[in-house]
Structure 1
């Protein structure tokens, strides 16, 4: 049995540990929406957001101190206005009026300078945190295994990397600053209002608890809607990306109208969720505004009666109204902040779902690099399943260094899966995969994959130049080495004939090149890599005869001196292999050379009869049906 180690290795990326410190806290025991809307869940999400800014806490605290100073300066302004008005209306003191006016101008200048400095530091910190988060998520995505990407749409991951990270930014920067400044403004205004006239303050004290209860009620709804909106946004991104990346297929089947309708439905769903959120937010803001403006009206009426009765000066009333406005603005702002934090928390949950996902395949704590590689490959009683039903069943095989072995068999027999275990894209549930006698679980993943090169039917090219696509095999390769690899791959001639030569852009997924040209660039890339183990998966199956001849010649050069595994449905391409392994229903059912297998009754001869027209085609088809 294989050692159960692949999913239990300790994480080595220490930079991500602060982000994962609260993983257990943020996971919901029942996964329900109600738990996501709880205050504890909101606090946990916000705590993890603010931990992102840990490397920049010095700048962040400096910004908050400056912004706080600006808020305190703003609290002094109504007192200055009070004195100014009293100097005019009560004392008729022109000299005091001039001094107070100059003092207010100085206060405004101080507030402007302090606010500018604080906002700049805060925005810088926010942009840096967002950049770090995007880089960290992208780095983490590259640590995850192929199984993860099989289970997630690329458009959804792209949406999380862009839209969700952008949503977090508002919570890290402006919302945090507003929370502090609005809190200072609220507390300071309340204290100064009580000092000025405690009887008028009672009106505000009646309103604040009502607004607080409303904020909690509406905030829960807004957070749930924000999470739904991020999901809908991811759906629209995924639909658009899938259709645009397959635009040739869409146009070939005249399905542009269908794809547009599909995208429109997704956008309409997103609009509906957004409309409901806007409705809830607008209702909340209107309720808060109605309550506070009603309170201000009451304050203005009662304060006016106090002035008329001589118990309150005009300056006191104006200052009191200013502080009441401050409280109304602060509570209204904090209610919006609650919505902002809830929205950011919804996006944060999706981001930390990624960051909390541990790679299924990791290096063991005592893993060592695979050095001095010869290229021997061994499968020792290997059983593997993607879900529950095994795809490979008790596979045993040995491939000697420098040997060429072909995998043949019907589709779904397990050939590609067996090949994917060699670069350790997956680990078997039972048995061992070994290179040079070392279990792949005991060596570092990077050292294994650096010695494996692959060429498949579905060539993956980047939307860049031909030279950069070839150099992907070895990033430090010189221009001359790139050209030498292209010559060996029979690609130099067609590249040289292009207007821009090696600097020609290949287009997205190499769309500007023919299938044979893409294959030869892939072979040049593999040649430049100079790996000891070569994996060929249907490398010539979709080519015309002329292109196949050029590609096959290049492959022959590539295979020289390397351990080579070939998957092929066209048996004519593997007749010269040292050995052929025949797969069927996850097992190796036949082994031998082409001549040996063709001389035996079995699956290989049935397949050969279909392709080489030897014997009865009808008998071969009937035999294959019986094996299904």
Structure 2
């Protein structure tokens, strides 16, 4: 059996008690309030147990002694008992709900923080919708287990023990009737609880799948509309939610069958108790007050066992969802600070790669023994065919991944010996596909330096050739730009990304196809901004347009994960190798495009 299947099987057979203990550990910071609330609910339950005895005395006072004063006193006493029970019940339930909401809030923050600690590999292997579902839907399910399970279990247990003890005290023969049903209910609860837990886990998985389908389509709404695939995406989502509905329906059927069966069993038992108890009253072995108290206690036992069965199914449902959260929290960050890691300070920008090897999960080497040295302030271009390993190489510099072999040094220091946060603070990336947040222009620029002044933001925008178009927007720097910057053109988004990078003021700059998707006018503005950004910084540039890298200090030509050529533009042209071949192909294509345009 594969290792992954073994792990899934081990998780699926994890005991319910183990899962509950993991959930209750979350409430440790609030345990005093939690325990006090539990005690309050138990006291409320204890008060409720005295009510049938009070009713017995009340009935016997009316039908036997005829004492009106005793009747009044007992009625007033019962009234105050109800008030006291309500006070303790409110106190206990309020604080339990408070703990539940507080724990869920803490857990959401903890899970979200943990997600940001995980590496690129984790997110590459999972769909965003599934992760979002765990953060929202699954976390909420834990509240049920926390606020409903242990406190209710204690109060139900206390109520059952108290009711049974008082029933035996009233009439042990009559008590034996209800005990016959308890083993049957217990066995049924364990069987149905396991099935419901499995279905609940399936529901959460399918809910995550449907969320992922919606996330995929809505995040690519332009593509969907451009290809007129609205109906296709609606069908995809409807298929996913119909599958979810079928699993949920199976759970509902199973749950209702279980509850209905338990209800019929106890109602039958109550009828027997009522009939047999009536016989005992007629025989003089039981008073009318005793019978009423006994029936109330029997109802209380019925209610408690029914609650416990519902609680068991609810907790199993919550446990199925909570397991997914704990699996997520068990994920270990791929990239972490090593023991004794030091902050990166006073960076000059010298970058050295020594015999670098890297592979993804499939085991095929993407980089094979890459070695070179980039001097501080140099501009180094990476060129080569698609799949040569250029972007992978850039991803290793800020430690988005770690190589399997070899090392990367900045100013002579191995980056694995540096604090990850300090390393990434000295590196800025301007990718081809710019991601902007759906906030204002100013907020997106400030992402480079959160405490920057307005003057610094404006200066960065000017250096990025963005200031003029920003002033032309409706609210200037406070203009919302829509989800992922949809209200801006490609060139405008690129210039905001450059302004963000300028504000960060990095020592090392990574440019990954930063101008490849722009028109000529936008490219000229972006290129000018990039040249300003590159001044006095060590810069790595990936570009398929070889005309944009001619002025690089050095060009590294990669092919199948290896550096096959190295030199300046003129040196590589003279070598008549891969770079020269790619250059000739590009300019031949450009000549063909020019001739085609002339025909029109």
| TM-score using structure 1 length | 0.92
1:128-174 residue CA offsets vs partner (Å, 9 max, x unmatched): 00000000000000000000000011100000000001111111113
2:187 equivalent to 1:210: no
Tell me the residue number matched to 1:160.
134
For 2:473 and 2:336, how far apart are their aligned partners in 1?
A: 43
Matched residue SS, 1:30: helix
2:27 equivalent to 1:53: yes
Given that residues 367 and 389 in structure 2 are in contact (C-alpha distance below 8 angstroms), is that contact kept between their aligned partners in structure 1?
yes
1:340-375 residue CA offsets vs partner (Å, 9 max, x unmatched): 111111111100111101111111111111111111
1:303-339 residue CA offsets vs partner (Å, 9 max, x unmatched): 0000111110011000000000110010011011111
Given that residues 148 and 311 in structure 2 are in contact (C-alpha distance below 8 angstroms), is that contact kept between their aligned partners in structure 1?
no
Tell me the residue number matched to 2:359.
385
For structure 1, the residue ranges without an aligned partner over 5 or more in a row are 1-26, 618-628
Matched residue SS, 2:565: strand
Instruction: Tell me which of 240, 243, 246 is aligned to 2:217.
Output: 243
Tell me the residue number matched to 1:374.
348
Given that residues 608 and 614 in structure 1 are in contact (C-alpha distance below 8 angstroms), is that contact kept between their aligned partners in structure 2?
no
For 2:590 and 2:198, how far apart are their aligned partners in 1?
A: 67
Tell me the residue number matched to 1:17.
none
The 1:119–1:531 alpha-carbon spacing in structure 2 relative to 1, beyond 3 Å, is same
Matched residue SS, 1:599: helix
Tell me the CA shift for residue 613 of structure 1: 2.6
Matched residue SS, 1:179: helix
Instruction: Tell me which of 256, 262, 265 is aligned to 2:239.
Output: 265
Tell me the residue number matched to 1:73.
47
Tell me the CA shift for residue 612 of structure 1: 1.8
Tell me the residue number matched to 2:575.
600
Instruction: Tell me which of 471, 486, 506 is aligned to 2:461.
Output: 486
Q: Which residues of 2 match residues 4-153 of structure 1 at below 5 A?
A: 30-31=6-7, 38=13, 41-153=15-127
Tell me the residue number matched to 1:455.
430
For 2:108 and 2:471, how far apart are their aligned partners in 1?
A: 39
Q: How many residues are aligned here? A: 589
Q: Which residues of 2 match residues 95-494 of structure 1 at below 5 A?
A: 95-387=69-361, 388-494=363-469
Matched residue SS, 1:434: strand
Matched residue SS, 1:459: coil
Instruction: Tell me which of 547, 560, 563 is aligned to 2:538.
Output: 563
Tell me the residue number matched to 2:598.
none
Tell me the CA shift for residue 92 of structure 1: 1.5
The 1:185–1:73 alpha-carbon spacing in structure 2 relative to 1, beyond 3 Å, is same
For 1:65 and 1:601, how far apart are their aligned partners in 2?
A: 85
| TM-score using structure 2 length | 0.97
Moved more, 408-417 or 600-609: 600-609
Q: After the TM superposition, which segments of 4 or more aligned residues of structure 1 sit over 6 Å from their partners?
A: 614-617
For 1:161 and 1:175, how far apart are their aligned partners in 2?
A: 22
Tell me the residue number matched to 2:508.
533
Tell me the CA shift for residue 175 of structure 1: 3.1
Given that residues 413 and 584 in structure 1 are in contact (C-alpha distance below 8 angstroms), is that contact kept between their aligned partners in structure 2?
yes
For 2:584 and 2:5, how far apart are their aligned partners in 1?
A: 58
Matched residue SS, 2:437: coil
For structure 2, the residue ranges without an aligned partner over 5 or more in a row are 593-600
The 1:616–1:585 alpha-carbon spacing in structure 2 relative to 1, beyond 3 Å, is farther
Matched residue SS, 2:340: coil
Given that residues 485 and 524 in structure 1 are in contact (C-alpha distance below 8 angstroms), is that contact kept between their aligned partners in structure 2?
yes
Tell me the CA shift for residue 36 of structure 1: 5.2
RMSD: 1.5
Matched residue SS, 2:557: strand
Given that residues 49 and 163 in structure 2 are in contact (C-alpha distance below 8 angstroms), is that contact kept between their aligned partners in structure 1?
yes
Given that residues 609 and 615 in structure 1 are in contact (C-alpha distance below 8 angstroms), is that contact kept between their aligned partners in structure 2?
no
1:274-313 residue CA offsets vs partner (Å, 9 max, x unmatched): 0000011001101111111111010000000001111100
Tell me the residue number matched to 2:596.
none
Matched residue SS, 1:613: helix
1:400-437 residue CA offsets vs partner (Å, 9 max, x unmatched): 01000000001110000001000000111010011111
1:16-68 residue CA offsets vs partner (Å, 9 max, x unmatched): xxxxxxxxxxx9993465x5565x52111111000000100010001001111
Moved more, 174-183 or 126-135: 174-183
The 1:225–1:311 alpha-carbon spacing in structure 2 relative to 1, beyond 3 Å, is same
1:565-622 residue CA offsets vs partner (Å, 9 max, x unmatched): 00000001100000000010000100001111011121101110111239999xxxxx
